[in-house]
Structure 1
Amino acid sequence: MGFINKLMGIYYSFLLYRCLIKFSSTADWAQRSIAQERSLRLIIYYQIGNAFRYQNGNWQPVTGCWGATDVSSFTVDHVYCVNGDGTLKKFNNATENFEGSYRIDNEIITKIDVALGGEIWAITESDKLFKFNGVSWEQQPLACGKLCTLKDIAVGSGQVYLVASVYGSNDGPQSVYTLNNGELVKFGAFYNIDVDREGVIWVISNYTRTLFYKRPGMREFAEDAQMSQRVTSNIGG
C-alpha cells in the first residue's frame, strides 16, 4: 500500500481532472481510474487484481471483485468490474463493495466500457463484441471475424471504438478502429483510446506512446502537457 500511495500522490491531481486514464509501467503493474464522481475514485491494481478506493486520504481496498481484468463507469450508479472468472460485478454504493454476477452465456468477458446512460459494451475472450440491451446481451456483427483479435473497447459521442489486432493488415500489433456497420475503419495512428463523459477523446500515439486529447469542437488532437513525458500503453474505463 505504501508504494500505491506514493505513486498516487504523483498522479492524484491528474486523476482528479483527467478521469478514466490507465497507466502501465516497467514495474509490470497498471492502474485505472474508473469513476468521474469526486465521491468515488477507484483503481485496479492489476498485479494482484484488486480494487482500491481513495477515501479519507488513503487508498483502501474494495472487496467483491477478485482477479479483476477491467473496470468502467458512467456514474456512481453504473460502476462495473470484470471479475477474474469473466463475469461482471456492479459497485454497490451503500455497501461500498462490488456485488452480483452478470455473465454472457458461454463467454468470458475480458474488457468493458460503460457509455452514456449506463449502456454496457463488452468484448470476450473469443473476440466477440456484445451490447447489453437492459435485459440480455446481444452479439454485435464484426465483418473481420476470426481475423480480428480484440484488445479493448471505448464508447462515447455516439461512436464505438475498438482496439484490435487485424491479421494481414499493416497497422502494427494493435490499432484503434471505429465500428461502422460491422466493419472496422482505421482511426488515426493510435495505440489505445478512451472517451470521457464530456465527449473528450483520449488517445495514445502509436509513435511516441504519449497521451493526446481532442475536445468537442477541436479539429486536431493535442498532446497533453501534463503527461507529455509519461510513456503509456493503456487508457480507459
Structure 2
Amino acid sequence: MEAIVADIPVVAIDPHVGPGDGVPTVEADSFGGAVSAVKYLIELGHRRIGFVAGRPDLRSSRARDAGYRRALADSGIPYDAEIVRVGFYEQDAARTAALSLLESPRRPTAVFAANDLSAIGIIEVAREIGLEVPRDLSVIGFDDVLEASRMSPPLTTIRQPMRRLGAAAMSLLTTLMNGEEPPERHLRLATQLIPRATTAPPRSSGQR
C-alpha cells in the first residue's frame, strides 16, 4: 500500500498495521506506556499483576501486551497466562474477562487494563463481587478518557497525548499535501503515567 491513495495523501493515527505498508503514521508509545503502568504497580509492591488485553488485531494492543511482559521480565516476575484475559477494548467484554479473573482462587492483587473502558468495567465487577478498589484490588488503565478523572475513585491511568497526536498528524499531512517529504514518516509520541486513587500497595495476604 502506497502513502498516496488516488493522489490523496494519507496519514494513519493509531494504525492497525506496522510501518512497512508505506502509509505515514502517528501513534502514542503504547509499549512504553504499558511498561510504565506495570512498573508502577510493581513499585507499589504488587507481584501478581493481571492483564486484560485489547483487540489482538491492533498494533497498540500488541504493543501494550509486549510492554506488560517486558515490565514483568525486567523485575524478575514470571509471566503467568492464568491471570491474563482479552477484553477487546470493550467494556462489556472486559467485564466478562474480569469476572473470570477475579473469581479465580488465586486472583491478582492488581490489574493492568489495555484501555480505560476496560479498567472501568473491571472496577464495576470488583465492586459487584465484594472487592474494594484499591484496598483489595489495584486497577490501572490506558488512555485517560474524560470519565477516568470523574469516576469514584478517580482512575490511575496512562495518558495518551491526544491533542499532540492530532496536531502531529495534521502537520505531517500538510507536509505531504505540499508535495514535500517529512523529516519522519512514523511518529511515536510519549505517554504519561497519571497516578490517581485506584492504585495502592497490596494488602498483606497470601494473594501477593
Q: Judge same fold: TM > 0.5, yes or no.
A: no
Higher relative contact order (CA 8 A, sep 6+): 2
Name the larger-Rg structure: 2
More helix by share: 2
Shorter-chain TM range is under 0.3
Per residue, is there more strand in 1 or in 2? 1
TM-score w.r.t. length of structure 1: 0.26
